[in-house]
Structure formats: C-alpha cells, structure tokens
Structure 1
C-alpha cells in the first residue's frame, strides 16, 4: 500500500479524491478536539483504500476540503467505511449538513459476526490481523502543529488496517447471510436527524428530578437555553452549567437572581451578571410541560413490579442463550429496556419486527406467553416448546422446575 505524505494543499487533495472515487470503498477516520469547544474541531482526516492512504490537514493554510467532502457525501458509488464512526459522521454533518452515504461501520458489523458488543479498534486489529496498534499517540493534541512523523503514521494506521479488515468482515457477513441484518443499523448511523442539534429536545438527555409538569417545563426551558448559550460561545455545555445544577434549579427555582449565588455549582458572580439575568428570564417564561410531551414512566411503559422483573430476568437469560447460539452480540438482537417493556406488556418494539422477530423476538414473545420453557440438555441450557416438553416426561419435569 502506498502511504502519501501529509496533504496540505487543495490540488493534491483533489487528485487523491479523484482516484479514490474509482474505488468500491474508502476507509475514513478523523482526529479532532472538543474538550474546550461545543463544536468538535476537525484536526486531521485519514482516508484510504487497499492501494493507497493519506492523512489530510484541514488546518493547513488555504486548503479547500470540498473534493474530500464531495466524495464522502455526494458519491453514492463509493462505500464509506468507518469504525465506531458516530463522531466522525457528526463532524462531516457539521461541515456539510449531510452525512456520508452509503456507509458501513465495522464496530456494528462485528456484532453480527461475533459476540463483541463494542469492540475497540485496537482489539479489532488484534483479532483479525494479529497485530498490536501503537497506542502512544492516543492522547495527542491534534490541533498543535507541526505533527510528528510518528503521529501521522499512527493516524494513517487507523485506515490502512481497516482497509485490510473490512473485506474480510464483508466476506464473513456474506457467508453467514447476515448482511441484511445490518442494513437498518447502517441507515440509522447515516440518518442526519441523529446529528441535528435541537435545543428544545436537549432536556430529554437529562435525568428528570420528578414527573411534575412544572419542574419538567423548567428543565426543558433551561436545557434549551444552556444549549444555545454553549453554541453561541462555542464552549462545552457543562461549562455553562452542569446537568445536576440545571436539574436542581428546575426542581427548586430561585426566587431572585441574588439567590443564584446560593445554588451549588454556580459562582457568586451569577447573582448580578448578565448570564444570570438571562437564566432568570428563562425561568420566568417557562411553562409546564404539555401532557403529550411527558416522558413514559420509567421509559418502559407500566411499572414492572416483582413478577414482571422476574419475567424480564428470564428474557435476559433467553437473550444470552440466543446470542451464544447465533454467535452474535446480544445488543444487536435486543436491548435491556426492550426486554423490560415486553415483560411490562408492550408489543410495539424493534425486537418484534423484521429479522429480529425471526431470530429472537418470536421466542421472547412465546416465553412471555407461556409457550416456551427452559431446559438443560447435556449440561447446556436450551429452550424447548411447551408442547415438546409435554411429549417428553424428563423435559416436562425440567420445564415444571423452571416455572
């Protein structure tokens, strides 16, 4: 594989992208900094295929990233391959208003060919290539210039190894006929709605202090205000106010701006500064949260209760058995909150739709409805239909014991 010197000019970048546009796929990775900013600062882009790879310096004077961004967002003939690419996709969306498409994420794909839930890149390289990734440059300040040869080599390695691993993962997916399982997951990763910042929905990421409509209304208003303040100043939202402080103010609103100085997590300056005045204005204008926006209790429908919790535990055991049998990550089949929702009586769930219903959801539903039981065969936990158990006295005895 040919490794190019660091690209710092538009002409060389355009030539590289023109060649890569003829490839069936390109592997992509980014290095960025966001510790001190609201918006992630793109510091380096690595891209390559099986023949060549390069690192691109987006901070270089005069460089125009348009050839690269056009390749990633507008060329539907080239598959864009990432590993754990959510933040990479977010950066590209912030720059263009579009997401890479079509897209493939090897971390997600690994869930369909192994029991790895969220395999890291170093472990991916180790398991497929038997090589150890140099982790010495992980904590590099990628915004500082110049970058050393070691830093650039480390960064490019993220796509050179991936260009070798991706075809192997794809081959295994085809052999197991599980590629279709991932279609919806990849489309979800590429869905622009995941990366659109909507301040009025920011409160949904927070832990609600209560189900009181007035408290939740204040939380929604404060979270939206904090989001816009952080965007305007381009600083992390936690620098404006921590989540716990926001929830505390929503639950126990100060009567006056002077009282802000008594709130844990705020400085004395809030009693008379401009941002404190804006916060108090937000609280004064906040309205109770409408009924149609109230969160579902426990986010899982009705409370489970003692018996429901036991059913949920049985479903989690079933999930472990199925994941082991299929050699896939349990999380690909269903999530814990879905299992609890099923135990609570809900049925409109992803695990009961499409391929998930076929490989897991139907059995989960039958377990809840009493048509499936646990049994032990040759020292292994297996599932058996209740009618099958009835035909076999030993299985019936084991099924009765499980109940």
Structure 2
C-alpha cells in the first residue's frame, strides 16, 4: 500500500480523493480535540483505499475540505469506520448529514461474538496479528507542526482498518450474518443521534428530586446552559457544572445578587449579563408537565410480575447469545424485552426476521408459559412446558 506524505493543500487532496472514489469502499478515521470546545475540533483526517493511504490537515490555511465532504456524500462509496460515533458527530456538524452508507467494524464484531465494545487494538490483533503502537494516542492533535511519528501513528489506524474490513466481511458472509447488521447500521445512520436537543438535555442529569417545580427549573436551566455553551463554543461544564445546576433547580436564588453566594458560580454573575440570563431562565420556568415526568423506575408501566419476566428474558438472551456467539445488544435491547414482558406483541424487532428465529420465538414461549428453566448437572437448561390451561371465568 502506498502511504502519502501529509496533505496540506486542496489540489493534492482533490487529486487523491478522486482516486479513492473509484473504489467501492474507503476507510476513514479522525483525530480531534474537544476538551476546550463545545463542538469537537477536527485536527486530522485519515483515509485509505486498498491501494493507498494518507492524512490531510483540516487546519491548514491552504486546504479546503470540500473534496472530502463530497466523498462523504457519495452514496456509491461505503464508508468504513471503527466505533465511529464521534467521527460521525463531526461529519454531521460539518454537513448536517450522516455519511451513507456506513460500515462500523465495532458493530460487525458484535455479530461475530467478540463483545459489545471490542477495542480497535484487540480487533487488529485478532485479524492481523499486529500490535498497535498507542504511544501517540493522547497527543495534542491541535498543536502544529505535527511530528512524523504522530502522522504515521494516525495513518496506521486506517491502513489496519483497510486490512480488517475484507476479512470481517468474508467472515460475516460465511456465517450468513451480514443482514444482522442492517438495523444497527441504520440506527447509527440516524442524524438525531448526533445532535443534542436543548429541550431534552435535562434528561441526562441526575435528578435532585421528583417535584414538578424542581424538574421544570432543571429543564429550563439545562436548556439555558446548552445555548450558552453553543454560543460560546465551550464545554457545557465550563458554563455550570451538573451538580451546581441541580442545586440551582432545587434551591433557586431569589435575586441575581444571591448568585454571589452560590457554590460553583463566579461572584461576578451577581451583576453581569450571563447571571441575568440564568435568573431569567429560573423565573420563567414552570412545573414540568405530567407527560414529561420521568418514570419512578426504569420499567415504566410494568407490574412486579412483568418485571420478573423481563429479568427472565434477559437471562434467556444471555444463554442464546452465548450459544450463537453474538453480542446480546445486537439481538435485543432492554426496552424491547420489557415491552414483550408487558404484553406488547406488535412492532418489536425481536419478533421479526432473524431476531425472531434466534431469540424471539423462545422469548415468546417463555412469556406465554411454554418454556421454563431447570438446573441439570449444575448447568442451566431450558425445557419445553405444556401450554398452561386457560383460566376459567370467574362465576361471580
């Protein structure tokens, strides 16, 4: 494989990308920094085809990324990434769209029974026998000039990715598991996964209590913080930390002057504009509507019996996943099993396609009392039960 020097000008970038677009797939990786910004700062992009690999510098004054963005939008070229969530977030920020089609090698590894979050280093070692040098992993990618070691380290990731991809595809085809990835690939292609909704940002926080008045203030404060952080392009924690936000929601200051006595806030907020906007958010907040109130537990609407059935379904999933050598999360999610335990039958992925064949039929039998567990020789076994007789109507 040909390895090019670092690309720092648009003409060279366009020339190489034109060649990459003649292939059916291209491997992509990025290096970025996000410690000091709200949006991740793209510092380096690495690309590889089966024939060549290179990195380009998006911070170069002589480089326009348009040829690369056109490649991302080219639906005739499959984009191969590993654990590409943060890379995709960057691309969505740049273009407003998720690159399509996508192939994530970490998701593919789930279908191969290699765990739910197998590391890139372990994946490379498994398929190629190579040990990746991670010495430059925690480097400052925004600092210029980049060293030759940094550049080679970064390009190495996509060259290995180019070796992994065909081997993983071959194994997926051999085991007839390619279709298993379709739903996961569709899920990671959904743009809403990469855009924070200020209206929903409060849901990521630890709740001070369940009072509607407090949660209404928490929602308003989280929304205010999200907008402040975006406008200033700083991490949201630089505006106000989570615990301070929760304290403000639970014990709101009566006046802006009181902000000077709030732990975690600068005393200057007692008289400046950002302090005024914080107070406005508190004063305009109403109680959280009943429809938005969080569930009292993690299983909304489930009876105690249904909760126990959901636990049995999760045990069944572990057994089936172990037998077939696939990561449980690829087969079923907790919310789907809880819905099945709660009586839902329509629209559940676990009752459709390959998931029904592998897990759904047995899950349904367990819920309906046609499947049970037993211990034989110290090992857990499943056994078919006689269908339970229908309950007789109450004569009263």
Regarding TM over 0.5, the answer is yes
Tell me, what secondary structure is at the counterpart of 1:132?
Answer: coil
Q: CA separation in 2, counterparts of 1:133 and 1:203?
A: 39
Match of 1:122 in 2: 121
Q: CA separation in 2, counterparts of 1:344 and 1:245?
A: 38
Q: CA separation in 1, counterparts of 2:351 and 2:201?
A: 29
Please provide the CA RMSD for this pair. Answer: 2.0
Q: CA separation in 1, counterparts of 2:234 and 2:271?
A: 22
Shift of 1:97: 1.2
Q: CA separation in 2, counterparts of 1:355 and 1:23?
A: 31
Shift of 1:356: 2.4
Shift of 1:221: 1.1
* Equivalent residues in 2 for 1:35-114, closer than 5 Å: 35-73=35-73, 75-114=74-113
Structure 1 pair 321–29 and aligned structure 2 pair: CA distance change class (3 A): same
Shift of 1:377: 5.5
Q: CA separation in 1, counterparts of 2:179 and 2:218?
A: 41
Match of 2:319 in 1: 321
1:72, 1:101 within 8 Å by CA — same for their partners in 2?
yes
| 1:219 correspondence with 2:223 | no
Q: CA separation in 2, counterparts of 1:345 and 1:259?
A: 51
Match of 1:181 in 2: 180
Shift of 1:317: 1.9
Match of 1:25 in 2: 25
Structure 1 pair 287–355 and aligned structure 2 pair: CA distance change class (3 A): farther
Q: CA separation in 2, counterparts of 1:87 and 1:371?
A: 44
1:321, 1:382 within 8 Å by CA — same for their partners in 2?
no
Match of 2:2 in 1: 2
Summarize deviations over 1:315-344 as a string: whole Å, max 9, x none: 222111111111001111223454445445
Summarize deviations over 1:244-278 as a string: whole Å, max 9, x none: 22122112222222332333322333323321111
Structure 1 pair 357–301 and aligned structure 2 pair: CA distance change class (3 A): farther
| 1:363 correspondence with 2:362 | yes
Tell me, what secondary structure is at the counterpart of 1:150?
Answer: helix
Shift of 1:309: 5.0
**Could you state the TM-score of these two structures normalised by the residue count of structure 1?**
0.90
Q: CA separation in 2, counterparts of 1:124 and 1:41?
A: 27
Structure 1 pair 207–303 and aligned structure 2 pair: CA distance change class (3 A): farther
Structure 1 pair 323–350 and aligned structure 2 pair: CA distance change class (3 A): same
Tell me, what secondary structure is at the counterpart of 2:43?
Answer: strand
Structure 1 pair 226–45 and aligned structure 2 pair: CA distance change class (3 A): same
Shift of 1:346: 5.2
Structure 1 pair 102–296 and aligned structure 2 pair: CA distance change class (3 A): same
Summarize deviations over 1:108-158 as a string: whole Å, max 9, x none: 111011141101111111111111000100001000111111111110111
Summarize deviations over 1:182-219 as a string: whole Å, max 9, x none: 11211111111222332122122223333332222211
Q: CA separation in 2, counterparts of 1:384 and 1:130?
A: 42
Tell me, what secondary structure is at the counterpart of 1:360?
Answer: helix
Q: CA separation in 1, counterparts of 2:291 and 2:339?
A: 20
Q: CA separation in 1, counterparts of 2:36 and 2:240?
A: 14
Shift of 1:234: 0.6
Paired residues, number: 386
The answer for unaligned runs of 5 or more in structure 1 is 389-403
Tell me, what secondary structure is at the counterpart of 2:167?
Answer: helix
Shift of 1:99: 1.4
**Could you state the TM-score of these two structures normalised by the residue count of structure 2?**
0.91
Shift of 1:310: 4.0
Judge which range, 161-170 or 352-361, deviates more: 352-361
Structure 1 pair 248–357 and aligned structure 2 pair: CA distance change class (3 A): farther
